[in-house]
């Protein structure tokens, strides 16, 4: 609670974690089931447990891959973090939310090879964050996200250092 005469500063934060889409998970599980069934069919009389073992290992590998390729975006009053990459908000320049065809073009034919790309093609939206730090080799960050307008609003709010 602020004392009399103190101003209350609201800190705007944003957090988003994105995993694989449902159709990719179902496709992988289907392939794992087919491979496990193939091993069971081929070796079922000799070693009936091999098909189940192959399926269990496949599910474990898929679970690890889903965890390892997740996209986590965090914004607080002083920084923007995308997975392990961190950018102080004082170096955030112009921020543009995009979606659809323009987002696809910005991550493909109109992209800069020097840009930091946190791209997940199954997400329809993205935010383009201009970097104003002269020592940073990246001209901008391209960040795929579920709610690009919300991320843009958070980054353009006045809570920079």
How does pLDDT run across 69-105, given as a tens digit for each residue?
A: 999 999 988 899 999 999 999 999 999 999 888 888 8
101 shares its domain with 136: yes
62 shares its domain with 79: no
94 shares its domain with 150: yes
Alpha-carbon gap, residue 114 to 112, rounded angstroms: 5
144 shares its domain with 91: yes
- Residue span of the structural domain in which 139 resides: 74-156
pTM, 2 dp: 0.80
Model confidence band, residue 33 (pLDDT cutoffs 50, 70, 90) = very high
**For 46-72, what is the mean pLDDT?**
93
19 shares its domain with 58: yes
């Amino acid at each position: 609670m602020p004392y009399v005469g103190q101003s209350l500063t609201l800190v705007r934060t944003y957090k988003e974690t994105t995993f694989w889409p449902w159709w990719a998970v179902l496709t992988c599980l289907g392939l794992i089931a087919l491979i496990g069934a193939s091993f069971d069919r081929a070796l079922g009389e000799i070693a009936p447990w091999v098909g189940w073992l192959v399926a269990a290992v496949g599910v474990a590998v898929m679970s690890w891959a889903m965890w390892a390729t997740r996209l986590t975006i965090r914004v607080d009053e002083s920084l923007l973090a995308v997975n392990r990459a961190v950018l102080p908000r004082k170096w955030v320049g112009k921020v543009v939310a995009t979606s659809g065809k323009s987002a696809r073009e910005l991550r493909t034919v109109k992209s800069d090879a020097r840009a930091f790309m946190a791209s997940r093609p199954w997400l329809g939206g993205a935010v383009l964050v201009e970097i104003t730090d002269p020592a940073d080799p990246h001209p901008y960050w391209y960040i795929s996200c579920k709610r690009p307008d919300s991320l843009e609003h958070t980054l353009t709010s006045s809570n920079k250092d």
